[in-house]
Amino acid sequence: MTTHTQPPSTRSPGARPARAWLGRRARSLVLVVHILAASAWIGIDVLVAVLVGVGALASDPALRGLAYQALASFVVVPMATAALLTLVSGVLLGLGTRWGLVRYWWVAVKLAMNVLLVVLILVLLRPGMADVGAAGAELAAQGRTGADLSFLVFPPAVSLTMLVLAVVLAVTKPWGRLRQASQT
Ligand code: HEM
């Protein structure tokens, strides 16, 4: 397995030099933002998993309803914000250092996962939240709901799995280059 801990400064013969327009300080700043945004995103996903767990398993219907209402009201905007901030700071780090965006497998795979998760949050999760809130209100008021909310287990499960993989890729930087002389 090929691993790197720093952006490589050497290049293959004949290849154009890779641009690294982020200076040391700017790179550190963007990296801090990137790590904080990714950490916040993971934390929000853990919160979603807890709320979904309470909504599904608690014995008190009022508490279950409250958990679903909290999920519907407070979670998606901070999650989408953290996901977009992770994406933007990651793209800046890729473009502004010699890692590139699609030069190394570990960066390209993280880019694909981040874009996929942002699309899932905005296209699948966000539009469904009104129904989740309504089912939560029904549960809290009447002690039961006709809505099947079991699908809610998937968002935190899928997202946490991908985010843990992204952290492992970021730290181990495996698999080397997509193409030997690619400079994109
Ligand atoms: C999917 C969510 C993501 C997570 C959880 C994540 C996590 C991390 C972490 C923890 C680091 C620090 C690794 C270290 O310093 O050893 C890092 C660095 C980095 N990430 Fe991400 N990242 C994500 C998305 C992205 C995206 C979308 C890109 C670019 C398209 C990206 C590009 C980079 C680059 C280039 C570095 C190395 C910066 C440097 O050392 O100069 N990341 N990432």
Task: Give distance in angstroms: CA of 153 to centre of ligand 1.
Answer: 26
Q: Concatenate the DSSP letters of all residues of 145-164 into one string.
A: -S---GGGGHHHHHHHHHHH
Residue 16 lies in a domain: no
44/69 Cα distance (integer angstroms): 16
Residue 60 lies in a domain: yes
Instruction: Give the nearest ligand 1 atom to 31 CA.
Output: 38
Residue 63 lies in a domain: yes
Cβ atoms of 163 and 42 closer than 8 Å: yes
Of 18-22, 120-124, 141-145, minimum mean pLDDT range: 18-22
Region of 141 on the Ramachandran plot (φ > 0 left; ψ -120 to 50 alpha; else beta): alpha
Determine the average pLDDT of the residues in 14-29: 79
For 53, the token pair is 């767990």
Q: Is the CB of 114 under 6 A from ligand 1?
A: yes
For 55, the token pair is 């909504």
Determine the average pLDDT of the residues in 85-105: 97
Q: Is the CB of 97 under 6 A from ligand 1?
A: yes
Task: Give distance in angstroms: CA of 34 to centre of ligand 1.
Answer: 7
Number of structural domains in the chain: 1
Q: Is the CB of 89 under 6 A from ligand 1?
A: no
Residue 145 lies in a domain: yes
Residue 114 lies in a domain: yes
Residue 128 lies in a domain: yes
In this prediction, residue 8 carries a pLDDT of 64
Pocket probe for ligand 1: among 86, 105, 109, 115, the residue whose CB has the most ligand atoms within 8 Å is: 86
pLDDT value at 184 more than 90: no
Pick the closest to residue 79 from 107, 32, 104, 114 (CA basis).
114
Q: How many CA atoms lie within 13 A of 111 on its CB side?
A: 17
pTM above 0.95, yes or no: no
Residue 179 lies in a domain: no
Q: Is the CB of 88 under 6 A from ligand 1?
A: no
Domain span including residue 34 = 24-172
pLDDT top residue among 107 and 3: 107
67/56 Cα distance (integer angstroms): 9
Q: Is the CB of 173 under 6 A from ligand 1?
A: no
22/42 Cα distance (integer angstroms): 26
In this prediction, residue 179 carries a pLDDT of 82
Residue 136 lies in a domain: yes
In this prediction, residue 10 carries a pLDDT of 42
